[in-house]
Structure 1
Amino acid sequence: MEVREGGRRARTEAEGRTTLHSFSFGAHYDPTNTGFSSLVAHNDERLPPGTGYADHPHADLEVVSWVLTGSLRHASTVGSATLAGGDVQRLSAGSGVVHAETAAGAGTTRFVQAWVRPDESGLAPSYVREPVVLGGPGAGWTCVADGDGGGVVPIAARGTSLHVADLADGVRLELPDRPRLHAMVVAGPGDGAMVGERRLVDGDVARLLDEGGRTVTGVGRAQLVVWSFERA
């Protein structure tokens, strides 16, 4: 298990926005950290009201956004929506798409956005947005996005899934049983999760190899956002 603490992750601050990066991104180039399995970007975004990203292009990426708090307005050439906390969207960029994202609410909007390489290039672009209802602390995992048809939204990457779960103090949960896991903790001050003997707090990320099924224990209230992969 490799842990990257939220306070030490690469940070971009521009026009009021703050982004924490899990991987090499933009000006933060690191040839030893360009991705994990098919995951090539995993950004923890915080947007004050009215800030965001103007129209910009993507191609051959599955762009999955999980909204934690606030309201996010998404506009693209293949679909548009306003997302609230607990909503997920998937933009399949395929052969090429242009989109924009803006904080739409009165407070700061926080969302986690992942870029996943699809199995095939040049697919027809598409967009979907769905609300997600988690079962609450102790209810286990909700499959939010999945490449094999089992999630709230589909992605064009077989053997790849996004699972989310809420934890409460002392609640134990087994991580998805897959060989590669990328887990992020979302929590308030003083809260977090224990992964083995390592305590993870808000914004911390753990990458695990051959550790599927390891037990995680809640410390206060926390949410786990976990990408899992069947192959390298």
Structure 2
Amino acid sequence: MLEIRPAHRRGSAQFDWLFSRHTFSFGNYYDPQQSGFSDLLVINEDIVQPGKGFGTHPHRDMEIFTYVIDGALAHKDSMDNGSVIEAGDVQLMTAGTGVTHSEFNHSQSELVHFLQIWLVPNSKGVEPRYQQSHFSPAQKQGRLALIISPDGAEGSLSVYQDVRVYAGCFDVGEQAQLMLADNRYAYVHLVSGTLTVNGTVLHAGDGARIRGERLIDIQQGHNAEMLVFDLRPHEKPSR
């Protein structure tokens, strides 16, 4: 069963430097029916103006990953990491016992467009850590590339939770399938384009909760980029 989360029903926040869409409850946007799914707590789609960004702020006991769609994001944190995250890069920060960080648009002339996603960890009080890796268009085109997993399989980033995240790009004539283990949930977020998932057409920004399905069938993409989350069978995150 697919339960569609239409893009236009997401929450939003707009400032002079930021436009953000919230798939799940976040900040001043609250919907008791949209408080995450399984261990997936936050999907924010952010567009940040040149040279602007999120000043230094704290997190703890959260797995936070950034998926850059277009442009470049400058990162600094209290673990002495400083990096630039560009399109195709995935950054994963384990907040653990506590970390502070900032994220700014690296460009003084171009927008940066990215997703920030929070996963609830299965272990609290761990040592903070930082990971970053690039997944090329060739790795994602016409297939699902594993980008996050519990054990770092296939060159993915390692997360403190029983969740696997895949990224894929699909155009005309390309298709793929993902087989889930018994008794698993999944969540699909369509980053861009249009795509048919298990017979249902999704548009950019749409999401879909998937329950009671073993197979995720991906077809009829048009300039489509997607993320697929293979999740534990829980309705809402528990922290």
Normalised to the residue count of structure 1, the TM-score between the two structures is 0.92
Is contact 2:24-2:43 (8 Å) kept?
A: yes
CA offsets per residue over residues 35-60 of structure 1, 9 Å max, x none?
11111111111112112111111000
For residues 11 and 175 of structure 1, what CA distance do their matches in structure 2 show? 31
Q: CA deviation at 1:136?
A: 4.7
Say yes or no: does 1:209 pair with 2:211: yes
Identical residues among aligned pairs (%): 27
Q: SS at the partner of 1:7?
A: helix
Q: SS at the partner of 2:55?
A: strand
CA offsets per residue over residues 124-161 of structure 1, 9 Å max, x none?
111111111242532x211111113315211111x201
Unmatched segments (≥5 aa) in structure 1: none
The residue aligned with 1:104 is 106
Q: CA deviation at 1:170?
A: 3.0
Is contact 1:186-1:192 (8 Å) kept?
A: no
Say yes or no: does 1:168 pair with 2:171: yes
Normalised to the residue count of structure 2, the TM-score between the two structures is 0.89
Equivalent residue pairs, number: 227
The residue aligned with 2:197 is 195
Q: CA deviation at 1:31?
A: 2.2
From 151, 157, 161, the counterpart of 1:153: 157
The residue aligned with 1:25 is 26
Equivalent AA in structure 1 for residue 185 of structure 2: R
Is contact 2:18-2:47 (8 Å) kept?
A: yes
Q: SS at the partner of 2:8?
A: helix
The residue aligned with 1:72 is 73
For residues 201 and 4 of structure 1, what CA distance do their matches in structure 2 show? 11
Q: CA deviation at 1:3?
A: 1.0
For residues 77 and 112 of structure 1, what CA distance do their matches in structure 2 show? 22
Segment of structure 1 superposing worse, 176-185 or 57-66: 176-185
The residue aligned with 2:93 is 91
Moved over 6 A (4+): none
From 126, 131, 144, the counterpart of 2:147: 144
For residues 104 and 214 of structure 2, what CA distance do their matches in structure 1 show? 36
Q: CA deviation at 1:230?
A: 3.3
Is contact 1:176-1:228 (8 Å) kept?
A: no
Q: SS at the partner of 1:36?
A: coil
Unmatched segments (≥5 aa) in structure 2: 235-239
Is contact 2:140-2:167 (8 Å) kept?
A: no
Is contact 1:15-1:51 (8 Å) kept?
A: no
Q: SS at the partner of 2:35?
A: coil
CA offsets per residue over residues 41-85 of structure 1, 9 Å max, x none?
111111121121111110000001111110000111012211110
- Change over 3 Å in CA distance of 1:35–1:136 after alignment to 2: closer
Segment of structure 1 superposing worse, 1-10 or 93-102: 1-10
Equivalent AA in structure 1 for residue 64 of structure 2: V
Equivalent AA in structure 1 for residue 171 of structure 2: A
The residue aligned with 2:187 is 182
For residues 29 and 103 of structure 2, what CA distance do their matches in structure 1 show? 22
- Change over 3 Å in CA distance of 1:152–1:196 after alignment to 2: closer
